[in-house]
Amino acid sequence: MHKLARLDKKYVWHPFTQMRDWAKRESIVLARGKGAVLEDVHEKKFLDANASIWTNLHGHNHPKLNAALQRQLKKVAHTSALGFANEPAALLAERLVKSAKGSLKKVFFSDDGSTALEVALKMSYEFTRRTGRSRAPKFLSLAGAYHGDTVGAVSVGHIDLFHKAYGGLLFKSDKVMAPYCYRCPFNRAKPERADARVTRKCNWECVGKVEAKLKPRKYAAFVVEPRVQGAAGMIAHPEGWLKRVGEAVRASGAQLIADEVMTGFGRTGTKFACQKEKVSPDFLCVAKGLTGGYLPMAATLTTQAVFDEFLGEYDEFKTFFHGHSYTGNQLGSAAALASLDILQSADSKKKRRTLEKLLRDELQALWSLASVGDVRQEGLVAGVELVADWRTRKAFPLKAQVGIRVCEAMARRGVLTRPIGNVIPLLPPYCTTSAQLRKMVRVLREAITEELGGAPV
Ligand code: PMP
């Protein structure tokens, strides 16, 4: 075993990992990266097929990002936003507001996706109380919702496996049906497999459920990942759901918190997923790709109205009492500015479009495998749901570790991604070449066949 793997096993406690299994398995120690390729300490190369847990946009070791960081390093790495302004954070705030368009005018920086959500939840809660809409406002979010691991973010999450144990620590929030077409109890709008095609028309029952929940007007906000729910299993929402739900939220007087931690910065095709359906949220939470996947940094964008509710005389203490040590970090902001430059270039836009189409075409080859139940794609986010029986959509039991086994078989063939239960995500960095993308999908197909037989049907 490599000495670094030994050190890691001795000292590091890994996130979302059964450490007993980790101790038994040989770990991959990553040392270098270039573009969509990562290299381990043995110089074995891997394709980064989930963009290092959905963070990386333009590839590793990008010359423009590296140069931006080096320029910033010559000035200063970090100064506190508690009491002081700085150049890259001010420029970045302006860029974010201009990119978000609509009514989002103010930017509150923090460290990661979870904190971006905490900020939005606290602001929305206090805004709702101060404006007199409710004294004890609640939050509504989707079944399967995942918005981070801090206690507030977990409170609006609805994945029992992760969240149930901490029930006693959390505030109560309500849950409503997600538009998960593949497992919709009302109709069979999916999958696209010829013999299981739409048998009944979709009547937007899922939107009706949201409307019914919103009726009593007790919510501060509806929290949602627009267009695709990531950790719920890469659940791509049907076209039109977001628009309808956005209107219902607006009509109820509640606010809309868009969690674009995964979907932001071109992942779904538009700069922000909300823009695809022309929905303007009251809060836009971004992190992961904000710095191009280089540094932990997040932002919560909000409206002038929310900002104004926190204005007052000093001794009215209307201040938003919240802040993290690294808020507005200068290095992170410099990386984010460089990343936005690349993202907005014509070359990057063209590459993303080409890649999205190629991914769509390549994924078609998976439908013929017996253990592939659904193949979902939204922009450059794809999820392949593996099932024990595609005819009945019966799920594999989690303890069979089907997703883990398939991803390990992929890693052996030089492609890295991380399963979500029985769903295999593919989120290629935007710099991925056609040959690399084809390899990602081919290796996924081989790994499914190796682990699950996969007799074509
Ligand atoms: N929201 C969404 C939609 C996410 O996907 C994640 C992370 N996977 C988070 C919030 C939490 O972000 P972080 O891990 O940076 O705290």
Q: Is the distance from CB of 380 to CB of 358 less than 8 angstroms? A: no
CB 286 less than 6 A from any atom of ligand 1? no
Q: What is the radius of gyration, based on Cα positions, of the chain? A: 22
pLDDT > 90? residue 55: yes
pLDDT > 70? residue 32: yes
CA 407 to chain centre: 19
Cα 329 to averaged position of ligand 1 atoms, centre (Å): 19
Q: Which residues pair with 140 in a beta bridge?
A: 174, 222
Q: What is the pLDDT of residues 216-265, one digit of tens each?
A: 888 999 999 999 999 999 999 999 999 999 999 999 999 999 999 999 99
Cα 155 to averaged position of ligand 1 atoms, centre (Å): 14
- Three-state DSSP class for residue 73: helix
Q: Tell me which of 262, 297, 420, 427 to substitute to probe ligand 1's pocket, judged by most ligand atoms within 8 Å of the beta carbon.
A: 262
Cα 147 to averaged position of ligand 1 atoms, centre (Å): 6
- Three-state DSSP class for residue 200: coil
Give the CATH fold of the 75-343 domain.
Aspartate Aminotransferase; domain 2 (3.40.640)
Cα 414 to averaged position of ligand 1 atoms, centre (Å): 26
Strands 372-378 and 138-142: unpaired
**b or e along 261-275 (b: 16 or more beta carbons within 10 Å of the residue's beta carbon)?**
bbbbbbbbbbbbbbb
Q: Tell me which of 53, 114, 154 to substitute to probe ligand 1's pocket, judged by most ligand atoms within 8 Å of the beta carbon.
A: 114
HEC string of 381-408?
EEEEEEEEECCCCEECCHHHCHHHHHHH
Q: What is the Cα–Cα distance from 258 to 283, expressed in whole angstroms?
A: 6
CB 362 less than 6 A from any atom of ligand 1? no
Q: What is the Cα–Cα distance from 435 to 414, expressed in whole angstroms?
A: 14
Q: Which of 441, 442, 426, 437 is nearest to 230 (CA)?
A: 426
Q: Can 3-61+346-452 and 75-343 be said to share one CATH topology? A: no
Cα 225 to averaged position of ligand 1 atoms, centre (Å): 10
Which protein residue's CA is at the shortest distance from atom 14 of ligand 1?
113
Average pLDDT, the chain: 95
Mean pLDDT across 418-427: 98
The verdict on pTM exceeding 0.85 is: yes
CA 443 to chain centre: 24
Q: What is the pLDDT of residues 432-453, one digit of tens each?
A: 999 999 999 999 999 999 999 8
- What pLDDT was estimated at residue 300? 98
Please, which residues have CB within 8 angstroms of residue 414's CB and are 6 or more apart in sequence?
44, 45, 46, 47, 439, 443
Residue ranges with strand state E in 95-243: 104-110, 138-142, 174-176, 219-224, 228-229, 235-236
Q: What is the Cα–Cα distance from 301 to 107, expressed in whole angstroms?
A: 4
For the chain, which residues make up each domain, given as ranges? 3-61+346-452, 75-343
Q: What is the pLDDT of residues 252-280, one digit of tens each?
A: 999 999 999 999 999 999 999 999 999 99
Which protein residue's CA is at the shortest distance from atom 1 of ligand 1?
147
Mean pLDDT across 356-385: 96
Q: Which of 255, 245, 239 is nearest to 212 (CA)?
A: 245
Give the CATH fold of the 3-61+346-452 domain.
Aspartate Aminotransferase, domain 1 (3.90.1150)
- What pLDDT was estimated at residue 437? 98
